[in-house]
Every structure is written in structure tokens, then in C-alpha cells.
């Protein structure tokens, strides 16, 4: 229903003819955000709203965390839940302009209808059947839509926990069906409820679950831990020019720190669900804008260890035992190098991530012809999944790639070695749209070699999209 309304509204808009070049899509990732409303959540939400054309937003739900809850004092104070409504109202002021750039932006009315208040009254409170918990349960139980739902915890897991308890209490026979649909992306375990309730009742059902720590390089510690070459995109000059000034009321409400990026620790939870061609949603081990993870038990994925002798915790993965926190203030060059490598699965994408943000900020105020839009990477006679023997030459052909602005495109076919299982050396890259991959003779049967076609346009800001091809070695 809402999609039809969006389409009708788009048809009534002067910019529709240009924007219609991208059609209304109904295969977008379904997402539910739960947020504790910390200052950095409020920054993340502005970026999330500007990215909401990429998702089917099923819910935005206030929740508590170990850091913030209703009744918390001082630093633990809880920001009044209405901040979500306030931001959607600012979004409403730029919505008509955003729609010139993509008809998939949801209406402000639709977003408001998906805003619910969950469990906020204490740390890890998951007993009350709140509106937010009921809503998450309803979405997961909706039999009319079997597509996966990415449920993100930007704060505690307590409202998600309550939602899953509702399903367990009222529909115990449907738990496996819900588990098959559910995907979890947790920014740490910001309360005890994953361990006390979700893990014992749901983990064995195989729910794909990412519990992230590497997100922290986009949180408050970014000036310490990001490599110098990426810091430019977070400093005051860049933020002022591309986001804060001259980009309309939603971007000017962004809570900066002396003009610079402050923190968006929760942003990786939805960066992960942007369908940018990296295909990371197929496996947390494949890596993408939301980081790269390793499986530690059942279908639970945590961060790759900074060194082989660092072991994942048996229990909760949180602020108190986080590797990010252990590495935050190291001084020796060797440890600092380890820290940089630890966060690389996240920061390696940051120039593209920040330019993506800047383009969306432009979409708030510019017409279609004055703004930039992402290239559309297309392959020819190159399947996304290939089986091949060692020694074989494989054609990788991205020549049909286009750009909606007819920008000049630069191509890079590169071997994402960390994502694959081939144990040899990094394979050579190509700067041509058409490349040949020679499968190394020492590749072993069953190995995966991940090749990424990265395409960047010459617009302002430059925008990047990808297509990953996975080669599996045959006997």
C-alpha cells in the first residue's frame, strides 16, 4: 500500500521524469533500527534518514542501553524519545528534493507510522510488552512477507529480546520460521539480554548474528584510531563544506564537534545493509561497508582478532572487554600498527562512505542535474559466482557499466584477499573495465577467490559502487 502511495506522490512531482530512471524497487533490504538516542545515534539517524531510499524501513524503535535509560542521571540521562519524530519532521522539509534524486525515499508520514517506543525504562528491561517490542514481533510474524529483516541494535538488545519473547510465548511453533527471517546486527551487547535471553532461546536456531566492535573507529575515538589519509573526511573543513553548511535543515541539525565529525558508532549497523554491490549480506565473512567478521559459534560472527593469540570472549562482547577499548590508547608503534590493521575492515571503505553521505546531503538542496548519483555497475558474460580450475583464465567484464550523470568512470578490479580462502599471494589488479583473472596454480579445491569491481565516477563528490564476483576452485 505505502509503496503505491510513494509512487503516486512521485508521479505528481516535476522531478519524476529524471528520478524515474531509477524505478521503484521492492527488493530492498528490510530493516528495523533500535536506538538508545545517544548523541551519536542522533548523528547516525540523520545519515540513516538520508539513506532510507536504500531500505524498506520496517521500524525505528526507541530502546534503552547500559549507557542511557529513562531515569538515568548525568551522562546516563535518556534523551526524550521525541527526537526521532523531530528528525523525521526535518526530513519532511527536504523530502520533496530528495525525491528528485530517487523515488524510493519513503514519505515522512510512512516513517512516522514506523516509529515506535520500545523498552526504555531501565538497563536491559525486557519484561514489559511495549509498543516497540510488539511491533518488531508483528513484522517478524507477518506471513505475507518472507524476506529477511535486518534488526539493528544501536543500543541495548532489550526491546529485541522482548519481541522475541513475545514470539516464543505466543507462537512457540513459529520460532524456526522467524529465526529463518531474522538477521541481527548488534553494536556491542549494550545490556545483558543477548546472553540472558536471546542466546539461550534463539542462537541454536541459526539466526545470522553480527556483534560488532570494529564500529568503534566511527565513534568518538576516530581521531585516535583512523589512519591519517581517511581523517580528512571527518575533519571540520570537509564536514562543514559537504554536510553542515548549505545542505538544508536536516543536515544543519547534525550534532558536530567544533565543526568536525563527532561520532556515529551505530552507523555501521546500516552501512552493512546498503545494497552497494559488495554482496556482504550473503555472509558476514565477506566484508563490506559495515565491516568484516568471523564465525565464532552457531551463526554468530564477531570481529577478526588483531593477532592470532587474541581469543574471543565466551560470553558478552561489550564495552568492558572490547578489543577496540584495549587498543584505544596503545603507544608503541607495533601496537598502533596492530590497531590500524584491526579497524581496516571498516576504514578501508571510509572515503567512499563519506562521499556517499556528501552526495545525499547535496540531494537535500540541489536539482538532479546539479548533483551526483552513483554509477550502476553491470557485468557482461561474467557470472557473480564462478567455478574454475587452477590455471584457467577468467574474463571479468564490466564494460556495460553506466553512470546516470554520464560521468567519466574509473575501474578497479581487485582481489579482496581477506574475504576469500585462497592462501596464496594477493593477485594483481586491473584498472580496465575488462580484465582477465588467471587462477593461480596453487589454489586448492574449495578455495574462494573474491574479486571486486570498484567503479568511481568523476562527479562531485565522487561516488563509488561495486560488483563482487566469487570464484570457487573446482577439483
Residue 341: CB atoms within 10 A of its CB come to: 12
Under the rule (CB under 5 A), what is the footprint of Ca ion? Answer: 36, 38, 41, 154-155, 266, 372-373, 403, 405, 407, 457, 459
Question: Minimum distance between the CB of residue 62 and Ca ion, rounded to whole angstroms?
Answer: 11
- Whole-angstrom Cα distance, residue 48 to residue 325? 26
- Whole-angstrom Cα distance, residue 218 to residue 231? 11
Q: Is the peptide bond before 461 cis (omega within 30 degrees of 0)?
A: yes
Question: Minimum distance between the CB of residue 337 and Ca ion, rounded to whole angstroms?
Answer: 29
Residue 323: CB atoms within 10 A of its CB come to: 24
The residue (of 199 and 373) whose beta carbon lies closer to Ca ion is: 373
The set of cell numbers assigned to 227 is 589512519
Return all residues near 327 (Cβ < 8 A) that are at least 6 apart.
225, 306, 335, 338, 339, 342
- Whole-angstrom Cα distance, residue 94 to residue 51? 13
User: Do the bridges between strand 56-62 and strand 115-117 make them parallel or antiparallel, or are there none, so unpaired?
Assistant: parallel
The residue (of 65 and 209) whose beta carbon lies closer to Ca ion is: 65
Question: Minimum distance between the CB of residue 281 and Ca ion, rounded to whole angstroms?
Answer: 22
The residue (of 23 and 436) whose beta carbon lies closer to Ca ion is: 23
Q: Indicate the length of the chain as a whole number.
A: 475
CB 185 within 8 A of CB 212: yes
The residue (of 177 and 460) whose beta carbon lies closer to Ca ion is: 460
User: Do the bridges between strand 149-153 and strand 30-35 make them parallel or antiparallel, or are there none, so unpaired?
Assistant: parallel
Nearest of 234, 217, 185, 190 to residue 342 by alpha carbon: 217
Question: Minimum distance between the CB of residue 119 and Ca ion, rounded to whole angstroms?
Answer: 15
The residue (of 56 and 191) whose beta carbon lies closer to Ca ion is: 191
* DSSP code at position 57: E
Question: Minimum distance between the CB of residue 67 and Ca ion, rounded to whole angstroms?
Answer: 7
Question: Minimum distance between the CB of residue 65 and Ca ion, rounded to whole angstroms?
Answer: 6
Question: Minimum distance between the CB of residue 166 and Ca ion, rounded to whole angstroms?
Answer: 23
Question: Minimum distance between the CB of residue 459 and Ca ion, rounded to whole angstroms?
Answer: 4
The residue (of 58 and 216) whose beta carbon lies closer to Ca ion is: 216
**Residue 147, Cα to own-chain centre: how many angstroms?**
18
The residue (of 299 and 355) whose beta carbon lies closer to Ca ion is: 355
Question: Minimum distance between the CB of residue 390 and Ca ion, rounded to whole angstroms?
Answer: 39
Per-residue b or e along 131-161, where b marks 16 or more CB atoms closer than 10 Å to that residue's CB: ebbbbbbebbbeeeeeebbbbbbbbbbbbbb
The residue (of 56 and 457) whose beta carbon lies closer to Ca ion is: 457
Task: Specify the 3-state DSSP secondary structure of 73.
Answer: coil
The residue (of 265 and 306) whose beta carbon lies closer to Ca ion is: 265
The residue (of 56 and 403) whose beta carbon lies closer to Ca ion is: 403
Question: Minimum distance between the CB of residue 222 and Ca ion, rounded to whole angstroms?
Answer: 15
CB 97 within 8 A of CB 131: no
User: Do the bridges between strand 149-153 and strand 182-187 make them parallel or antiparallel, or are there none, so unpaired?
Assistant: parallel
Nearest of 290, 29, 55 to residue 181 by alpha carbon: 29
Amino acid at each position: 500500500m505505502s509503496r503505491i502511495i510513494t509512487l503516486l506522490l512521485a508521479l505528481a512531482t516535476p522531478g519524476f521524469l529524471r528520478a524515474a530512471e531509477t524505478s521503484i524497487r521492492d527488493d530492498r533490504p528490510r530493516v528495523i533500527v533500535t536506538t538508545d538516542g545517544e548523541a551519536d545515534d542522533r548523528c547516525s539517524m540523520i545519515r540513516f534518514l538520508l539513506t532510507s531510499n536504500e531500505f524498506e524501513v520496517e521500524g525505528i524503535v526507541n530502546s534503552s542501553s547500559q549507557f542511557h535509560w529513562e531515569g538515568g542521571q548525568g551522562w546516563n540521562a535518556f534523551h526524550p524519545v521525541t527526537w526521532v519524530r523531530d528528525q523525521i519532521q526535518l526530513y519532511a522539509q527536504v523530502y520533496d528534493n530528495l525525491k528528485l534524486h530517487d523515488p524510493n525515499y519513503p514519505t515522512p508520514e510512512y516513517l512516522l507510522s514506523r516509529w515506535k517506543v520500545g523498552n526504555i525504562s531501565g538497563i536491559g528491561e525486557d519484561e514489559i510488552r511495549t509498543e516497540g517490542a510488539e511491533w518488531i514481533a508483528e513484522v517478524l510474524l507477518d506471513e505475507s512477507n518472507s524476506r529477511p529483516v535486518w534488526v539493528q541494535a544501536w543500543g541495548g538488545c532489550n526491546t529485541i529480546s522482548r519481541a522475541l519473547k513475545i514470539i516464543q510465548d505466543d507462537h512457540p511453533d513459529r520460532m524456526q520460521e522467524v529465526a529463518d527471517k531474522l538477521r541481527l546486527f548488534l553494536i556491542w551487547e549494550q545490556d545483558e539480554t543477548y546472553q540472558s535471553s536471546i542466546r539461550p532461546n534463539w542462537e541454536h536456531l541459526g539466526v545470522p548474528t553480527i556483534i560488532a566492535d570494529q564500529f568503534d573507529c566511527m565513534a568518538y575515538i576516530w581521531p585516535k584510531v583512523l589512519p591519517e589519509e581517511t581523517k580528512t573526511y571527518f575533519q571540520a573543513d570537509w564536514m562543514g563544506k559537504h554536510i553542515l553548511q548549505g545542505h538544508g535543515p536536516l543536515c544543519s541539525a547534525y550534532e558536530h564537534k567544533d565543526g568536525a565529525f563527532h561520532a556515529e558508532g551505530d552507523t555501521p549497523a546500516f552501512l552493512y545493509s546498503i545494497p552497494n554491490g559488495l554482496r556482504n549480506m550473503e555472509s558476514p565473512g565477506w566484508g563490506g561497508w559495515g565491516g568484516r567478521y568471523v564465525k565464532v559459534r552457531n551463526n554468530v560472527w564477531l570481529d577478526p582478532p588483531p593477532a592470532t593469540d587474541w581469543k574471543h570472549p565466551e560470553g558478552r562482547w561489550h564495552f568492558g572487554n572490547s578489543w577496540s577499548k584495549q587498543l584505544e590508547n596503545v603507544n608503541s608503534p607495533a601496537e598502533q600498527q596492530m590497531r590500524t590493521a584491526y579497524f581496516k575492515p571498516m576504514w578501508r571503505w571510509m572515503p567512499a562512505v563519506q562521499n556517499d553521505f556528501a552526495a545525499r546531503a547535496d540531494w537535500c538542496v540541489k536539482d538532479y542535474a546539479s548533483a551526483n548519483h552513483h554509477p550502476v555497475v553491470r557485468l557482461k558474460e561474467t557470472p557473480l559466482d564462478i567455478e574454475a580450475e587452477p590455471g584457467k583464465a577468467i574474463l571479468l567484464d564490466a564494460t556495460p557499466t553506466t553512470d546516470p550523470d554520464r560521468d567519466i568512470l574509473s575501474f578497479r578490479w581487485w582481489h579482496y584477499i581477506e574475504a576469500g580462502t585462497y592462501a596464496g599471494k594477493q593477485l594483481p589488479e586491473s584498472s580496465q573495465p575488462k580484465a582477465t583473472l588467471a587462477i593461480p596454480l596453487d589454489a586448492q579445491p574449495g578455495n574462494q577467490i573474491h574479486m571486486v569491481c570498484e567503479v568511481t565516477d568523476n562527479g562531485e563528490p565522487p561516488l563509488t559502487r561495486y560488483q563482487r564476483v566469487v570464484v570457487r576452485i573446482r577439483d
